[in-house]
């Protein structure tokens, strides 16, 4: 190890090159030792991990020095009645926020007692939106018309790059001389960003050659990836879905210690009016909490929590109780690729019965999305109940104090 440390200090060896000379575990240890010496900070806990890093250092993490452990708890069982997920599930939630899992657990109890969350996927498509520069308004118009007239040609080009992805739709947007071509793909069980990026590059090349429009960037931010955006709320990105449950008056009183009318008013004044007054793109209590906890546990890209936070929660008063629902316009999930192959994360996906590719293709990712959406519903329901009953501060005092 000393020889490698000396070379790193002298600059004759780069941190990123250690894996070319050493097995992954040794390379990580040497890199961590170097950072410990450089910063004067001992990092023994970062070096204690159980995952097999052979795959991780090649696909998931450059310049790896160790792993951060996030506590994982379970909430459930949660009854889900979807088209792809139909059963009772224990939700793995990775979090450091005290009271979160207890809250979701109570929501799971209410949803399950009510017969389960009915959940449906309304749209399923991952997007990428290259931006082109044109010469004038007329040229921009010509470019858009060409794209609209040659969808089949562009579909053939896109699908030549992948054996799994299917081009679903192309919608063009114009701002002055800029043309944004928002391309949507069915990516099956993969979250699919790598897939759609490669396919979109092929499509962009065809458009550029045929129209003379200059490709400026393969992503023009109208995708929109990892940023709050109205376009995702309107057109959807990833899975667009709704999960809902009818709760009777007796159940609300027994489990949530409140009433249907109180739930409806809290939701109206907090989630709808309050969010509108704040100019929020999300109309929910804490949907991102559940999405983030499940994403971290199950190897999803946590940055996509941004899109998930655009969830809208609704409470419809009906005879004998109320119908509570969450509408999630942009949920990006996958069960293959990315972090889903890391040992701990794969175990969490296996806990839900959705690890790896589904049969038929795409069914595992859709089942996982339905479970996540149902978990969001449970989380929203519990927090609304706590607020309506005046229990929120009490729960955080007992469970969330540092």
Mean pLDDT by 10 residues, the chain (402 residues): 91 94 94 96 95 92 95 97 98 96 97 98 97 98 98 96 93 98 97 95 98 98 96 96 98 96 97 97 97 98 96 97 98 97 97 97 98 98 95 56 47
Output the pLDDT for position 398: 55
Strand bridging mode 72-81 / 117-128 = parallel
pLDDT (tens digit, 9 = 90+) per residue, 119-154? 999 999 999 999 999 999 999 999 999 999 999 999
The closest alpha carbon to 267, from 285, 290, 242, 288, belongs to 285
Output the pLDDT for position 388: 95
Distance CA(247)–CA(241), nearest Å, equals 20
Distance CA(259)–CA(77), nearest Å, equals 24
pLDDT above 90 as % of the chain: 95
Q: Which domains does the chain have, with CATH numbers?
A: 2-59 (no CATH), 72-124+231-399 (3.90.770.10), 130-217 (3.30.70.420)
Output the pLDDT for position 380: 98
97 is catalytic: yes
Output the pLDDT for position 2: 87
Looking at 97, 142, 208, 347, which residue is catalytic?
97
Q: How many residues does the chain have?
A: 402
Distance CA(233)–CA(244), nearest Å, equals 18
Looking at 301, 316, 343, 347, which residue is catalytic?
301
Q: What is the DSSP letter of 269?
A: I
3-class secondary-structure state, position 221: coil
- Whole-model pTM: value is 0.94
Looking at 139, 150, 156, 396, which residue is catalytic?
396
Output the pLDDT for position 402: 46
Distance CA(235)–CA(385), nearest Å, equals 31
Tell me the CA distances in angstroms from 226 to 66, 68, 142, 304, one per residue in order: 26, 23, 31, 5
Output the pLDDT for position 164: 86
């Amino acid at each position: 190890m000393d020889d490698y440390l000396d070379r790193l200090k002298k600059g004759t060896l780069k941190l990123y090159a250690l894996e070319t000379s050493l097995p992954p575990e040794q390379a990580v240890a040497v890199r961590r030792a170097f950072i410990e010496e450089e910063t004067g900070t001992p990092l023994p806990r970062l070096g204690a991990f159980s995952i097999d890093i052979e795959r991780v250092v090649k696909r998931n993490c450059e310049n790896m020095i160790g792993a951060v452990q996030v506590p994982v708890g379970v909430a459930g069982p949660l009854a889900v009645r979807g088209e792809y997920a139909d059963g009772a599930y224990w939700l793995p939630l990775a979090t450091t926020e005290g009271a979160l899992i207890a809250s979701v657990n109570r929501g799971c109890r209410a949803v399950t007692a009510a017969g389960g969350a009915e959940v449906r996927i309304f749209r399923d498509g991952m997007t990428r939106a290259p931006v082109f520069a044109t010469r004038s308004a007329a040229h921009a118009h010509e470019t858009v018309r060409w794209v609209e007239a040659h969808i089949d040609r562009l579909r053939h080009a896109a699908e030549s790059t992948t054996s799994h992805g299917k081009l679903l739709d192309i919608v063009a947007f114009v701002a002055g001389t800029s043309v944004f071509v928002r391309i949507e793909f069915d990516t099956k069980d993969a979250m699919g960003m790598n897939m759609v990026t490669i396919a979109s590059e092929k499509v962009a090349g065809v458009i550029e050659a045929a129209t003379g429009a200059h490709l400026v960037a393969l992503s023009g931010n109208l995708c929109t990836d990892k940023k709050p955006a109205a376009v995702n709320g309107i057109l959807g990105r990833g899975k667009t879905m709704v999960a809902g449950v009818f709760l009777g008056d007796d159940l609300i009183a027994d489990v949530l210690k409140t009433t249907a009318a109180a739930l409806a008013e809290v939701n109206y004044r907090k989630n709808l009016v309050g969010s509108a007054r704040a100019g929020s793109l999300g109309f929910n209590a804490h949907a991102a909490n559940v999405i983030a906890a499940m994403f971290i546990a199950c190897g999803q890209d946590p940055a996509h929590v941004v899109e998930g936070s655009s969830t809208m929660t609704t409470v419809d008063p009906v005879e004998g109780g109320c119908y509570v629902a969450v509408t999630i316009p942009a949920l990006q999930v996958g069960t293959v690729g990315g972090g889903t192959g890391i040992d701990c994360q794969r175990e969490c996906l296996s806990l839900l019965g959705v690890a790896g590719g589904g049969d038929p293709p795409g069914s595992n990712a859709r089942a996982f999305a339905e479970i996540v959406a149902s978990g969001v519903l449970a989380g929203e329901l519990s927090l609304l109940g706590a607020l309506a009953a005046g229990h929120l501060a009490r729960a955080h005092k007992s469970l969330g104090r540092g």
